[in-house]
Amino acid sequence: MHRWLAALFAVISTGFARGDERPNILFIVSEDNGPELGCYGDPHARTPNLDQLAAEGVRFERAFVPYSVCSPSRAAFLTGLHPGQNGQIGLATHKFAMYREDTPNVISLLKPAGYRTGLIGKLHVNPESAFPFDFRAIAGANFQRKQDVGEYVAAAETFWAEAAGKPWFLSVNFPDAHLPFLREAHGLPDDPQNGEDVSPLPWVGADSQRLREVTADYYNCLARLDVWVGRLLDALEKTGRAGNTMVIYFGDHGAQFPRGKGTVYEGGLRVPLIVRWPGKARAGSVRNELTSTLDLLPTILEATGIEAPPELTGRALQPLLRGEKPADWRQYVFALTTGSFPRACYVQESVRDERYRLISSPRPGTRNLDAGTYLDPEHPHHVVSGLVSEERASVSPEVETAFRRWENPPRYELYDLESDPNEWENLTDDPDHAEAKARLVAALEAWQEQIRDPFSDRENVDAFVEEQLDYLDLRYRKQKDFRWRYLDTFPAWRKARAEP
């Protein structure tokens, strides 16, 4: 620790000497959307500004989050730590939190190095005190879109003016495309699509006119997001500092449709990721390596000359940005879900390689409450983008089998993403894929050991789930000093595993 601090102070002194040579960092974070953008080949998308950003930067074709719900995903990319490492394994609004307030993160690392730091839009990670931004604006989620793009841009302009000659980090968090999927807001988009213009996302598995209208409004949200991004980038250009700014655009997780947000399927975990860094990133290139939002903090730290904390498992993206082909790039990406709050509780983990995804359910054959939020119209949190009874009744036998598997998962699921990109056929008992299954199980177990994952211990899983199920009435929300037990038991378990 002393060596790490000494290195940090050395960076601070040299950083001040370099002045504006150090890059500014702009995060543009969108809500609840996968790669349903024009630059990713989606035929229904109307996203010219994001397409242009991709043409000016590097587009990552296979980028993933480690948890497909907002709070855990955001804590992960801000700290560079998997949710099992940092503790934010559920929604902040349901009193889930990181284990420690002093967890190193992008703000606590950049500020001592002389960076001015800002946040526009929601943080949604507990405790907020762990992220001592110099500037904050529009702190709410803005899901009703009461604040329009002009307010976000004006806040960014204020932040940039106050940064003066200092290097800066700014995270701008736009509300689209989170539910409600608003067809129009503040006159945007100016030519909205309807159900006749689109088709349901392919991994949803169902179709109806109602579902097409909901999907159209999802695409309308993405069109509106695109306008927001374009106006923000125009404002950045006017500052004269765009040439020394690394712009990183990404989604916080996949779309809120069945087998998307909240799951460890491809639809929940795969996100768009675009990096524009003039003179440093190879403009117009596309990378197919497995990447993760856990890579963002290492990338920023390498760009700013700050030594990375030792627990980070992500990789700096600079070799890929330069067009290099590292021989030792990662072979796997990993993910977790707990359902994020009691009424959607279910623990699963997954590992994906170039071809396959393995899903591990440590409590097989028990009810997945999260699936009910999409498939059960009687669920108290059933969403409009889920299925109604008539829609489910009309799906193919293959899709219905997949839905039932999602509702009551087996111990393992294995999908061949080359032949089955939408993950319908479980190959876990297929002898032709036994080697792939064994290899991925071993990779997941090695990862769990590496990060000291509390969910690798069945006793931890059971204790966590039992407490969640005890609070299905959500009474904890009215208890001022309520604290989930895992916030004490998991760190103690992890500490014991770290000792010789």
Two structure tokens written together for 357: 């995804």
Average pLDDT over every residue of 245-271: 98
In this prediction, residue 164 carries a pLDDT of 85
Which of 134, 135, 166 is closest to 15 using CA atoms?
166
For residue 21, name the pLDDT band (cuts at 50, 70, 90).
Answer: confident
Residue the block writes with tokens 């409004």? 217
The per-residue pLDDT for range 33-73, each reduced to its tens digit, is: 999 999 999 999 999 999 999 999 999 999 999 999 999 99
In this prediction, residue 4 carries a pLDDT of 43
- Which overall architecture, per CATH, does domain 2-321 show? 3-Layer(aba) Sandwich (3.40)
Average pLDDT over every residue of 379-402: 98
What percent of the chain has a predicted confidence (pLDDT) above 90?
95
CA-to-CA dists, residue 458 to 269, 347, 362, 453, angstroms = 24, 11, 7, 11
Residues 283, 226: contact at Cβ < 8 Å? no
Largest CA distance in the chain: 67
With a cut of 50, say whether residue 2 has pLDDT above it: no
For residue 27, name the pLDDT band (cuts at 50, 70, 90).
Answer: very high
With a cut of 90, say whether residue 11 has pLDDT above it: no
Average pLDDT over every residue of 246-266: 98
With a cut of 70, say whether residue 231 has pLDDT above it: yes
With a cut of 90, say whether residue 500 has pLDDT above it: no
Task: Kindly write down the DSSP assignment for every residue of 430-470, as one continuous string.
Answer: -GGGHHHHHHHHHHHHHHHHHHT-GGGSHHHHHHHHHHHHH
| Residue 191, C-beta contacts closer than 8 angstroms, at least 6 positions apart | none
For residue 78, name the pLDDT band (cuts at 50, 70, 90).
Answer: very high
The per-residue pLDDT for range 117-173, each reduced to its tens digit, is: 999 999 999 999 999 999 999 999 999 999 999 999 999 999 999 998 899 999 999
Report the interhelical angle of 458-470 vs 486-498 (nearest 10°). 170
Rounded to whole angstroms, the Cα distance separating 53 from 387 reads 35
Two structure tokens written together for 156: 């960014």
For residue 17, name the pLDDT band (cuts at 50, 70, 90).
Answer: very low
In this prediction, residue 300 carries a pLDDT of 98
With a cut of 70, say whether residue 15 has pLDDT above it: no
With a cut of 90, say whether residue 481 has pLDDT above it: yes
What percent of the chain has a predicted confidence (pLDDT) above 70?
96
The pTM for the full model equals: 0.95
Average pLDDT over every residue of 247-261: 98
Rounded (10°) CA dihedral 380, 383, 388, 394: -130
| Count of all residues that appear for the chain in the document | 500
Task: Count the neighbouring beta carbons within 10 Å of the beta carbon of residue 55.
Answer: 13
Q: What are phi and psi of 448, to 5 degrees?
A: -60, -40
Q: What are phi and psi of 356, to 5 degrees?
A: -115, 155
In this prediction, residue 499 carries a pLDDT of 79
With a cut of 90, say whether residue 248 has pLDDT above it: yes
In this prediction, residue 16 carries a pLDDT of 40
Mean pLDDT of the chain: 95
Rounded to whole angstroms, the Cα distance separating 317 from 297 reads 10
Rounded to whole angstroms, the Cα distance separating 475 from 421 reads 40
Q: Identify the weakest region by mean pLDDT among 13-17, 201-205, 405-409, 487-491.
A: 13-17
> What are the residue ranges spanned by the domains of the chain?
2-321, 333-498
In this prediction, residue 14 carries a pLDDT of 41
The per-residue pLDDT for range 350-384, each reduced to its tens digit, is: 999 999 999 999 999 999 999 999 999 999 999 99
The per-residue pLDDT for range 410-459, each reduced to its tens digit, is: 999 999 999 999 999 999 999 999 999 999 999 999 999 999 999 999 99
Average pLDDT over every residue of 284-310: 97
For residue 3, name the pLDDT band (cuts at 50, 70, 90).
Answer: very low
483 pairs with which residues across the strands?
A: none
In this prediction, residue 165 carries a pLDDT of 87
